[in-house]
Amino acid sequence: MRHRKQLCALALTALLTTAGCENEPSAETPAPSPATTSPEDLCTALITKWARQIYDSGKETYGDYQSMGLSNGQYMILRDTLDRARAERKRQGADAGRKLITRQAHERCAERYRHGQPSGGPWV
């Protein structure tokens, strides 16, 4: 009797699983396009992430730009942004420095990628 219940449960599961196949999208239905991130937005996200992490840690060192996934130009933006944020923190407090990081990362990355890729290639 026990095996009969297990077989019935298995058959019911198989029936319910195959019953839903009629609602599956057909091969003719195109898949949604993957979203892409602009170079400017990617730069902004990377600079903001690393700047906040370093800023909030209180460390004075910046780290290796290659291990952060940054180009040399992006690394220069990071260093300059952190220097300005630290100065702002001394004048106006920690929150003012964090706001400056967000603003500077956006502005500097927008300038860097205003024409698409920077001249000299993406790692410059």
Q: Where along the chain do its domains lie?
A: 39-112
Structure confidence by residue, pLDDT tens digits, 10-63: 454 554 444 554 555 556 777 777 788 889 999 999 999 999 999 999 888 877
pTM exceeds 0.85 for this model: no
% the chain with pLDDT above 90: 48
SS3 call for 71: coil
CA distance 37 to 33: 13
pLDDT at 81 over 70: yes
pLDDT at 90 (0 to 100): 96
Tokens of 107: 């502005």
Mean pLDDT score of the chain, rounded to an integer?
Answer: 81
For tokens 């001394």, the residue is 90
| 116 vs 13: which has the higher pLDDT | 116
Tokens of 38: 């602009």
Count of residues in the chain: 124
H/E segment holding residue 32 = none
